[in-house]
Amino acid sequence: MDAQHSEKPHSHASTDRTSSARSQNPRISSHISEFTKNQSYMTVPQNSARGDRQRHPTTILLCKSQSSQAALMPKEHTAFIEEAYSAAICFKLLRDLSGSDSLHLRYIIKKIKSMAHGAPNLVLETIHDYFVNNQQISTRHKFRLFHVLGAVIGATESLEETWEKSFMQLALENMTRSTELEEAYQDAASNVLVAICRHSWQVVARHLETEVLSGVFPHRSIFYVMGIMTSDETLFKEGEKAGWEEQLAKMAIKSVPFLNKEGWSKELLGALTRPDRTQQEQPPEKAFLFIYYGLMLQAEENGTNVRTHLKTLLETSHQWPKQREGIALTVGLAATRHLDHVWAVLEQFGRSTPIRWSLNSFSPKNSGDLRWKWASSTILLAYGQMADKAKAQILPWVDNILSRMIFFFHYSSWDETLKQSFLTAIPMLVGAINRNEGAQSYEFSQVSELLECLMLLMEKEPQDTLCTPTRQQTIRIISSLCKLRPQLDLEKKSRLLSISLRSVMSLPLLEVLEKHTCLFLEPPNIQTLYKETAGALEQMLQTFIMQNPTAEELHFLLSHLYVWLESEKAHERQRAVHSCMALLKFLSHNFYLDPKEDFKRIGQLVGMLGILCQDPDKTTQCSSLEGLGHLYKLLLHQRRGEASQEQAPAPQEPPQASKEGALLWSSGDQEAAPPSPREVALLKDHILHPGSSQVIKEVMKHLTMAELTDLIWTAIDGLGSASPFRVQAAADMLLTAIQEHGAKLETVRVASLGRAIHLQLCSVRIPQAKENALQAITLLARNHTSELVAAFLDFSIPLDSHAFRLWRALGAEQPVSHLVLAVLLGWLQKRPLPTRTSGSSPQPKKAYLRSLAAMNTLHELQFAREFKQAVQEAFPELLLALLSQTHYLLELNLPEEPQPGKEAQETALFSPQRHWQDFAYMELQGAWDLFATIHTYPQGVGLLARAMVQNQCRQIKALTFQLLPNLQSREERERKAAIIIFTEFLYSPTLLEVLPKEAALSVLVRSLRDPSPEIRVLSLQGLGNILFHPEKGSLLRGQLPPFLNGFFQSSGQVLVRVMGTVSDVLHRLGAHSTEAQGLSIAINTRSFFDDERDGVRAAAVALFGDLVASVAGRQLGGLRAQVHQSMLPLLLRLKDPCPAVVTQAKFAFYRCSVLLRWRLQHTLFCTLAWEKGLSARHFLWNCLMSHSQEEFGIHLAQALSYLHSRHDHIKTWAALFIGYTICYHPRAVSQMVSDVDTKLLFCTFEDLKKSPEPSVRDFASRQASFLQKMTARPR
């Protein structure tokens, strides 16, 4: 022990020196590290170790062989002492291997290995001497010594022949010995022989051959060494392995006679079927026996013997994986020379009873039945090995083999074992086909069915886990199969792509996948597994494009990726864009596509990648931008046709990126290599800064017009996405594309683009994205106004809010707004009438719908500020066009068709905001209803023109200019509207500013020759105007007194006609009537306001209104008092039971307020036209009282008199009027009303408390209470 402690400092120094030596020699290092991994070599029982120590001497003997002593003679004494000391230390370390302390044993082994690096011969000599001088070494001690010896021999650069023979003999003596350690001891001794193979495999092979060919079935250790030699490539130097295989084949040939020896064959079969220590790993000797058995059958000349042996082998157990693989390997090796016999044996075995019984629903009855459960997996592997080993002979057999493999795939019990066997066998078959030069001349009919199996297999893979390489194996097989003939049809290729992409892209995030494997004993590396699976998918895409390097194929492949590029899940988009980028990178580096061939739908790809450049995920952004870079390079190559003859550069590994770039690149679950520093800088510049759109602009410059159109379509489709970032990115790209290239777009496509934008605009919820889309429409309108207007008309009946915003965007620029209005007017004037012949249906294409849509749109655009100026400037043309359009609608007479409503017709003719006086003139008379029928249409147009004249409209002059060409129009409806308006304008002095009297006369004379009788009649009426016949003024004035006498007739019909005639005379006189006659008419007319006959009241109120309108702008004189006294009766008549009276009362009241120049005339008009309820009544009362303070008493007296009316509504309205008056002027009322009037008021309010209207009841209650308080006060 003292010696041991004294050597420790030296041993540590030696360890340091040898560690550096070991690092310089990787071969030695690898073998030593292999040895140190096995802790079982150091584990021995305590009692055995104690016995070993007792048998060893207590002193160290410095023993040397004669050769060593002779070599040391010329050395110095110091060198001799150092060497002897090292040998002594090594001897002691070898002795200490008998210990049981595992840590100490590990230290000893490490120490011996270190010494072997510095002085291998010394260590070998010491080990040899130790074996020679210690014959009674325990089994476990010797076991450890063999392992150390094997490691030392394997680590030496060369082995002297002396040591080679000695240690080979030592190994051969011990590797067949039976000990308590059983096979472990034999394997340790065999490993010494294996280590010697590194230096002289031929010598070892000769000894092994002698043992094998002895005629007696060799010991397992012999096959163990042969198995290691066959499987370990590192045992041989370059080119030596082929020599061993050749010698092995010769040994197999010489061993063929042993197959006929029953004992030898039984021992062979027993060795092959002996259960393994662990079923997951097969010992080397057993693995070799399957190979050697296959080589022997391969060399056998007698086919019957081959069949017999294979049948016997196949009838053994198929329960364990390594056993199935070994059987299949033997069958495959035999098929190299006996393909027919092997096929026959497999066919017979596949149809045997146990196999048929094991198919589909396997339910073992006892433990012995399990040997057949996975027999079909063995058959699959055997077919694969048969194809792999048969090589050139296999091509005619491929379809037959595939048909059997497909059969067992479909009809065997489905489990992981069958799946893995299938995925192992198919690559063997495909590899054999691909290695055969004549494969391209064959057409394999079963490939299509095999692909169906692979697709089924992939679909059965769980979509929420990734625990096995099944997906990548399947995809790689598919890639190989697609190279064979016949080529896949598009439908099957599409299915294949869809299934493959879905299987990979839809996997959960890698973090989620890793959680699913956390309970595994040996969890797979999910990162690596996914990376390899994604790589297989990308390789498949590259294989497809290599098989068919056309732009059509590229579009076909990308179209299947687009679904995933649009995914709502970030990790799916990330994966899809990386696959897309990888494909583009492959093409840009290799230039497979023909430069002369135009890309198809490449604009869609640019659009997709451009949108993803704004993805929230940074990795997706980087991949998208990198993909655009490769696409840009590819585009330049295609467009310029350059580099078509150049050698495509081999892809290079990207240099190490900066830390920041690597972090940016590795976000999410993508594990792709990071970009170069230059690419990182480019990506940061374009992605992290606002100028990323410059990349898209640059790519757009090289796109054709069709490709640009595809890009725009892609952007428009993106507007309908549910992802906010995609919507915004699509809107940005759309705007960029239109800004840069909108003027060059094909006219025929612009309309479709406009319609598509409208459809998508409905779903856009992001304000900025919507503004960008509308701005794109504005830009498109600069060059494609007509096309867009025509397209927008298709969805403008009815006009929803989104369509209205599009119209506003269309006219956002003033020059364009005028053009839009002009185009709309053009469509408005295209008024085809539906033709119907006998026995035929109407025109299928209703062209008149666009004319209706144009009218509907013009109605709405009047209220848009973008079109304000354009509408004002085009008012004359617009008014005449809309009047003609109204007539056209009446001609269509299509009640079932969608038509603009009454309100649309009204406001389309006159905007209430800009011409509200004229609008009020029509609205209060209910004149819009005259446009509802073709018979009353002329009257409505006349009243409209009359309103403009009476209100002195500023547009009369411009409208007159527009009338002249319309009077000569080809369409009768336009001439008809024009002549009606023209005859009314004759009453306006403004007309003479445009046309002299003679010119106006000639216009009417020319219209007398019009083909339309109605127009000729209207022209005759115009020729009778007082303008051309001044003397008619006195004649008409002279006829008024007789007409006034007619007011005393008792017949209501006569009264109505007389009043109508007086109204007509007043209209014809215009400004030529006298004040006296007007006063007389007013007095007589007012007397009929309360007539019991509805028609008479209506005619009287209408006449009064016409009278007020005729004296507008002149001195009123005594007529003013008549107007003031008429205001309250007219106000109360707003509640007349006769609707005609109400309408005329509204108009007359309004005309009186205009004549008296009341304030808030527009509000008064709106209240009269549409407001109801107490608030409206209060406003009207307030207007009357605030403008007629001098007539306060008259109005109050008139209201009190109406309390006696037999019409409840008028009575109620009078009471309300008085109630308001009492509230605001209680003192004045109290002074004017008598006790009788007060009692009447109390009675009236009590009656109103019973009114069905709650508001009236409440008002009456309050007024009764207030009236009671008022009467209680002293007057």
Rounded Cα–Cα distance for residues 189 and 204 (Å): 14
Q: What is the mean pLDDT of residues 164-186?
A: 91
* Backbone φ and ψ of 412, nearest 5°: -90, 160
Would you state the structure tokens that stand for residue 500, as one six-digit string? 């493959």
Rounded Cα–Cα distance for residues 925 and 1148 (Å): 9
216-230, 366-380, 523-537, 613-627: least confident range? 366-380
The pLDDT value recorded for residue 695 is: 86
Enumerate the β-bridge partners of residue 278. 281
Long-range contacts of 637-641 (CB under 8 A, 24+ apart): 637/588, 637/591, 637/595, 638/593, 638/595, 638/597, 638/598, 638/599, 639/702, 640/595, 641/595, 641/596
Rounded Cα–Cα distance for residues 1034 and 31 (Å): 137
Whether pLDDT at 858 is above 50: yes
Residue type at 1049? Answer: Q
Would you state the structure tokens that stand for residue 777, as one six-digit string? 């429409």
- As to burial, measured by CB atoms within 10 angstroms (0-12 exposed, 13-18 middle, 19+ buried), residue 511 is exposed
199-208, 350-359, 884-893, 1063-1072: least confident range? 1063-1072
- E strand or H helix at 731, and its extent? helix 724-741
The pLDDT value recorded for residue 655 is: 33
The pLDDT value recorded for residue 42 is: 37
Residue type at 708? Answer: L
Question: Would you call 443 helix, strand, or coil by DSSP?
Answer: coil
Q: What is the mean pLDDT of residues 266-273?
A: 92
b/e burial code for range 1-35 (CB count within 10 A of at least 16 → b)? eeeeeebeeebeebbeebeeebeeeeebbebbeeb
Give the tens place of pLDDT for each residue, 713-740.
Answer: 999 999 999 999 999 999 999 999 999 9
Q: Between the CA of residue 674 and those of 182, 525, 623, 846, 896, what are the distances in Å?
A: 54, 20, 10, 61, 67
Compute and round to an integer the Cα radius of gyration of the chain.
55
Q: How confident is the model at residue 39 (pLDDT cuts 50, 70, 90)?
A: very low
**Which has the closest alpha carbon to 122: 163, 172, 164?**
163
Would you state the structure tokens that stand for residue 605, as one six-digit string? 């790809």
Considering the chain, what is the average pLDDT of its residues?
81
**Which has the closest alpha carbon to 455: 503, 404, 499?**
499
Q: Between the CA of residue 1256 and those of 679, 1221, 1261, what are the distances in Å?
A: 82, 16, 9
Rounded Cα–Cα distance for residues 38 and 45 (Å): 17
The pLDDT value recorded for residue 682 is: 44
**DSSP letter assigned to residue 65:** -
Q: What is the mean pLDDT of residues 857-875?
A: 89
Give the tens place of pLDDT for each residue, 650-692.
Answer: 333 333 333 333 333 333 454 444 444 444 444 444 433 334 6
Whether pLDDT at 862 is above 60: yes
Whether pLDDT at 238 is above 80: yes
Question: Would you call 76 helix, strand, or coil by DSSP?
Answer: coil
The pLDDT value recorded for residue 266 is: 93
Whether pLDDT at 2 is above 50: no
Rounded Cα–Cα distance for residues 1180 and 1168 (Å): 8
The pLDDT value recorded for residue 644 is: 40
Q: Are 23 and 29 in contact (CB under 8 A)?
A: yes
The pLDDT value recorded for residue 863 is: 84
The pLDDT value recorded for residue 280 is: 66
Q: Between the CA of residue 373 and those of 51, 312, 360, 361, what are the distances in Å?
A: 51, 17, 10, 10
b/e burial code for range 1228-1262 (CB count within 10 A of at least 16 → b)? ebbeebeeebbebbeebbeebeeeeeeebeebbee
Give the tens place of pLDDT for each residue, 1057-1116.
Answer: 888 888 888 878 876 666 667 788 888 888 888 888 888 888 888 888 888 888 776 767
What's CA 513's distance to the chain center, in Å?
Answer: 24
309: Cβ–Cβ under 8 A, 6 or more apart, which residues?
Answer: 259, 265, 293, 297, 300
Q: Are 489 and 514 in contact (CB under 8 A)?
A: no
Task: Count CB neighbours of 323 within 10 A.
Answer: 23
Q: Are 309 and 269 in contact (CB under 8 A)?
A: no
**Which has the closest alpha carbon to 1210: 1236, 1183, 1248, 1238?**
1248
Rounded Cα–Cα distance for residues 481 and 473 (Å): 12
830-839, 982-991, 1079-1088, 1111-1120: least confident range? 830-839
Q: Between the CA of residue 33 and those of 98, 100, 110, 155, what are the distances in Å?
A: 21, 21, 10, 11
The pLDDT value recorded for residue 899 is: 46
Whether pLDDT at 397 is above 70: yes
- E strand or H helix at 1103, and its extent? helix 1094-1110
Q: Between the CA of residue 716 and those of 87, 381, 710, 738, 878, what are the distances in Å?
A: 86, 53, 10, 12, 34
Query: What is this structure's pTM?
Result: 0.72
**Helix/strand/coil percentages in the chain, nearest 5:** 75, 0, 25
441: Cβ–Cβ under 8 A, 6 or more apart, which residues?
Answer: none
95-99, 200-204, 509-513, 565-569: least confident range? 95-99
1062: Cβ–Cβ under 8 A, 6 or more apart, which residues?
Answer: 1040, 1043, 1044, 1081, 1103
Give the tens place of pLDDT for each residue, 1154-1180.
Answer: 888 888 888 888 888 887 777 777 788
The pLDDT value recorded for residue 309 is: 95
Q: Between the CA of residue 493 and those of 453, 965, 1115, what are the distances in Å?
A: 14, 67, 94
